[in-house]
Amino acid sequence: MSVHPTAILSPQTELDSGVTIGPYVVTRGRVSIGKNSQIDSHAVLGSEHGRLEMGEDNRVHSGAVIGGSPQDLKYGGEPTALIVGKGNTFREFVTVNIGTESGGGVTRIGDHNLLMAYVHVAHDCDLGHHIVVANTTNFAGHVKVEDFVRIGGVCSFNQFITIGRYSYIAGDSAVNKDILPFTIAQGKYAVSRATNKIGLERAGFPKQEIENIHRAVRFVLMGDRTKEEFVEKIVQECQPSEAIEYLLNFIRSSSRGIAK
């Protein structure tokens, strides 16, 4: 463990073995940092009332503010939290807020995610695993991003929406509805425009399953079928599989509507 002499750590800070704390780092309130994590100069972790828990092998670059108070006028200093998994990278000036009491009290970041410079993750968001978010993208509160999503730069996400697994959001998009898994979405407001075949190939999906997913996606995106009609079409004409079952469950549970 290495702590630079200019760092200012709160009495409630807990550092595991192998943690490196750089110059002028500040921690506030209850902060725990997992082993072999590296916190670069001028980063600020935690907040006066909240709790920040970070797993192992995380990297926080200079100027990032991780675990700050929510930008929500209803927040009154409740002891909410930000829970971060392992192997994440927060680039320069990333901001991630703790949760709010009315939103469940916890903001979550999973494992092995890359948040590039100036990304903002608001209160009560839930980011899964193996996500890449490019520069200057903003998530409003209560956004759920599922695993293996790729997001371009300068994107904006409305509150209470869900971004499905293996989707790709093109840069400079504004998203106000749920994004169908396995698709490429783009626009202001963004809609799913095609199956993310290249992403699925790179993820190791078999060719036959990619075609099966593509068939299901086309039933959703092509024509003017209602939700009930394209769900029935997928059930009847697509080969049953784990991916198809997940896609159907995603569609059925969507409360904000599918962006199509």
From 40, 57, 124, 126, active-site residue? 124
Give catalytic status of residue 129 as yes or no.
no
CA atoms within 13 A on the CB side of 212: 17
Please identify which of the residues 42, 123, 129, 142 carries the catalytic annotation. Answer: 123
Q: Which of 50, 141, 164, 199 is catalytic?
A: 141
Active site residue 72: no
Distances (CA, A) of 39 to 29, 158, 185: 17, 30, 34
The answer to whether 37 and 45 have CB atoms below 8 angstroms apart is: no
- Burial label for 227, CB within 10 Å (0-12, 13-18, 19+), is middle
Whether residue 123 lies in the annotated active site? yes
CB neighbour list of residue 206: distance below 8 Å, 6 or more residues apart: none
Let me know: does 115 contact 82? Beta carbons within 8 Å. Answer: no
Picking from 219, 209, 218, the residue whose alpha carbon sits closest to that of residue 239 is: 209
- The rounded distance, in Å, linking the Cα atoms of 133 and 153 is 7
**Catalytic machinery residues:** 123-124, 141
